[in-house]
Structure 1
Amino acid sequence: MTQSLAEDTAAAERLLTHGAMTVEGRLVQASNATLRCDIEFEGLRAKCVYKPVAGERPLWDFPDGTLAGREVAAYLVSQAMGWRIVPPTVHRDGPWGPGMAQLWIEPDPAVDVVALSRANDAAVRRIAVFDAVINNADRKIGHLLPVAGGHVHGCDHGVCFSTEYKLRTVLWQWRGKPLKPLALQGLARVRAELEGELAGRLARLITAEEVEATRRRVDLMLKHRVHPYPPEDWPAVPWPPM
């Protein structure tokens, strides 16, 4: 059911937006308040992750109270690229106030995510491109969610979209390598959307400067047609990497 909802994004968004949430428990390994919930609407039921703004830990390099919005912005960019990397995600009120709600994805336990993160896997390579677009400052191994059939979702996108180059990831195996045609197609799609409705939707979640910085990152990738290199003045890999 969960994976079918991940593919039927309209149904998933309705459920996440209007469903009644019952908190199951807290994911204690998360640095910010992250709650797993049951959610139900019009007979449809699933699990979701709920991250209330009130539970966000202040950061020195991102404005307070903006992480939930950045998670939703990452979902919108993922959809615009046509890759369904980020599970359906909405901004809504919940048991602990406003925050983000995201469809829970149960990863395939048969997949070794450490090996996957180091592999030359097409689905993971798409995530590396996506992370470069959103300027993801925290792509850890545990944020990869492989499911049956070979698709790989990604989660935890609260520290993205900075105007400064902060790309920090475990997925550097393609640095400097030519972008695949599929990647260029996804970049072209999102660049076109950034001139239309997507820009307006993002502007309600991140700053106008951050939207413009996203355009510039896409333009650079389309111009040079290679995977980016690590920043010179910023740690290239998150810690801990898992």
Structure 2
Amino acid sequence: MLPTDPGVGEFLLRGSLEIEGRLVDASNATLFCAIEADGVAAQCVYKPVRGERPLWDFPDGTLAGREVAAYLVSRAAGLTLIPPTVLRDGPFGPGMVQLWVDTKEGDDLVDVVAPDELPRGWRAVLHAHDRYGDPAVLAHSNATPVALLSAIDVVLNNADRKGGHVLHGTDGGVYGVDHGICLHQEHKLRTVLWGWAGEALPDEAVDALHALNTALRGSLPGELTPHITRREISALSTRVKGLLAAPVFPRPDEDGRPIPWPAF
């Protein structure tokens, strides 16, 4: 099953889950599952609320809902950048269930490379030295879908866009995952996708923002209400309107921590 298949959301809600493993590098409990319904089988990620690690700046027990809200925002913008995501009961209680994305081996969209190995057209974000003292560059692909993901991260106020959260699917799509610390009402943007800072948004991003702005005047706030607060919905709307008024990728906040750590 692909993220763009019709009925995938209902499939995720109704399918029976069988835990097959755990992603041990994740900060919160992240379980790899088989899911099956009506003879259709797929894989998914299940993050139970009870497995969330408390954070000082995000209310306890809200991360799964924020993952769902991020998907709803992406979908309302007419984008398929976040795999279908639902909130449902599972083997360890309520949690986020998201369709698994198979990725292309060795086809990373974000990487740390030697300066002379920077792929043609890639955007450099940070020049540093590796653990051996050799020069290194944190960089990312210049592909339009990656730029769209960078733009949607701004309105999501993504506080943790690591390089490992940007996936190149075997279906050719670009997907962002792990949106548990998004949509805070205070500015918290931390990302590795700073390569377009100060440049104009692509036309596709502006179109997506217009679609999202329209949705925020319609049914989207009602869809988001079970997952984030009214203040956070208002802040989301303010970010969308601000980016439409000045359709330019923001620059990093020099007084903050604009890149998450670790970066992958």
Tell me the TM-score range normalised by the shorter chain.
Answer: over 0.9
2:33 aligns with one of 8, 33, 37: 37
Equivalent-residue separation in structure 2 for 1:73 and 1:196 (angstroms): 15
- Note if contact 2:108-2:168 (Cα within 8 Å) is conserved in structure 1: no
Which is helix-richer, 1 or 2?
A: 1
Structure 2 distance, partners of 1:227, 1:113, is 19
Structure showing greater Rg:
2
Local SS of the residue matching 2:167: strand
Counterpart position of 2:69: 73
CA distance in 2, matches of 1:112, 1:197: 36
Partner residue of 1:7 out of 4, 7, 16: 4
SS of the residue aligned with 2:3?
helix
> Deviating runs (4+, > 4 A) in structure 1?
none
| Identity within the alignment, % | 51
For residue 235 of structure 1, report the CA deviation from its aligned partner: 0.6
How many residues are treated as equivalent by the alignment? 238
Q: Spell out, residue by residue over 1:69-111, the C-alpha distance to the aligned partner (whole angstroms, 9 max, x if none).
A: 0000000011011110110100000000000000000111141
Corresponding residue to 1:124 among 135, 146, 150: 146
Q: What is the identity, as a one-letter code, of the residue corresponding to 2:30? A: T
Q: Give TM-score scaled by structure 1 length.
A: 0.95
Name the SS for the 1:21 alignment partner: strand
Give the drift of 1:184: 0.6
Cα distance, 1:151 vs structure 2: 2.0
Amino acid at match of 1:123: P
Unpaired stretches in structure 1, ≥5 consecutive residues: none
Higher strand share: 2
Paired position in structure 1 for 2:262: 240
Does the Cα contact within 8 Å between 2:102 and 2:170 map onto a contact in 1? Answer: no
Structure 2 matches for 1:1-242, cutoff 5 A? Answer: 2=1, 5-8=2-5, 10-115=6-111, 118-148=140-170, 150-242=172-264
**CA gap 1:61/1:233 in 2 versus in 1, 3 angstroms:** farther
* Partner SS for 1:7: coil
Residue 73 of structure 1 aligns to a residue whose secondary structure is: helix
Q: Is the partner of 2:222 in helix, strand or coil?
A: helix
The two structures have a TM-score, normalised by structure 2, of: 0.87
What runs of 5+ residues in structure 2 fail to find an aligned partner? Answer: 112-121, 123-138
Moved more, 112-121 or 62-71: 112-121
